[in-house]
Structure 1
Amino acid sequence: MLQRALIFSSSNPICSQLSTTAPPDNTVFPKRNGGWIIPFSSYQLPAFRFRNYRRTLLPPLCSASDSAANRPNMASQDEQDPRISNISSAIRVIPDFPKPGIIFQDITTLLLDTKAFRDTIDLFVERYRGKDISVVAGIEARGFIFGPPIALAIGAKFVPMRKPNKLPGEVLSEEYSLEYGKDTMEMHVDAVKAGERALIIDDLVATGGTLSAAIRLLECVGVHVVECACVIELPELKGRERLGGKPLFVLLSST
């Protein structure tokens, strides 16, 4: 079922692969003004925003969805937590990186702002302290930035979810789909135990592919995934719909 399409056009550079010659794909349909439409499923979108997104991160943005069937609930119902605005302001938005037409959310500037970085960690810790979480699973690579301090603060162990061939010893693997092919996520076989309660952390959720792979990888050994958490969500890519009803908590949402 056609859900979304990339538009290739020299006059409308929505994505990086600009061309005035139709790409070699038998599913290409002609488009006016010398461009083409290439359909693909929404889950195959790369984890970056396109030109039709605003170039800012917008509070009030601290939200959570308890399941795919529930509407997102505001974490601060009555008034916006001032820390959210501070975090949003600390994240740099870079157009045309790493390719033309892509708008990149650069969290390195957040890491340079000690108050905003601490506020980010504190908001997650306040949510998960006392929830009996014994595992914080961080997705490579930027989940490794936020996961360890959260794990230490709530008294949980940190488990890295890595790209293939990065972990020594025996590993468990889970394959997932990318825009043009597949990738694999791995963790050590002895990192977790059946019955443990886990939080999955990453910096950004776009299509939800990596989060859903992490959920499957943990659940295959009997771990209960309590929630997924990210600093930023790109809601128009509908990543939370791929999480199988698992709750998703985010601090910032981009529209």
Structure 2
Amino acid sequence: MKTSLSVNVNKVALVRNTRHLGIPSVTRAAEQCLRAGAHGITVHPRPDERHVRGQDVHDLAELMKQWPGREYNIEGNPTQNLMGFIRAVKPQQCTFVPDSEDQFTSDHGWNLDDPATCERLAPLISQAKALGVRVSLFMDPLPGQMAAARALGADRVELYTEPYAAAWATGNDTQRREQLQRYAAAAQAALDVGLGVNAGHDLNRENLAPFLAEVPGVAEVSIGHAFIADALELGYTATVGEYLRCIKSA
């Protein structure tokens, strides 16, 4: 199974927003990534618009119409501003993330042991699916939560990979193996109940291939911060090539 690469362009928008010149262009960045072979584009429009803005979501939706077969993934908290974007542009995929409005970055998955959380999510998942949009839930690598995600109607889960990335950065082989085992078990549990598996957060050129080599069935990785950091040095085209090489080597 080939893993797809979705490029998160939030950090392009973050740089643009520091001035009023409209550069760097979010849509031009996305187009260059698509031309280089990226399989999709991801955005996470937060309510405060500190990076991707509402207009970006719509501009990228128009761009993606020119790239049939590529995926547009919009992520965010469905109890905030996400559902309006889903209804307006009907992306191929939406990823529900349990961020608070002032959260610096995503740092945990949904707790599906909480009945109130499940009660909130179930109708929103149904609404998105009724629009023909695939639904992925941002989840910690907890095998016991995967059946609950499936029961709510989710199509996929996105495994939150920061703990793995942090372990990889230590250089400690024991910590690396322990984290890989956690993610492999969670991914297998998801596959066993019929969920697709995505992954994202702090994946980079060093840790991506080892992750994909050990974690079964990863359909898609979403990479933003490390990707844009690499692109500042290498350019968008070369950076896409580097990440596709990592995927292929796994």
Indicate the TM-score class for this superposition, using the shorter chain for normalisation: 0.3 to 0.5
Give the structure with the larger helix fraction.
2
Give the structure with the larger strand fraction.
1
TM-score, length basis structure 2: 0.34
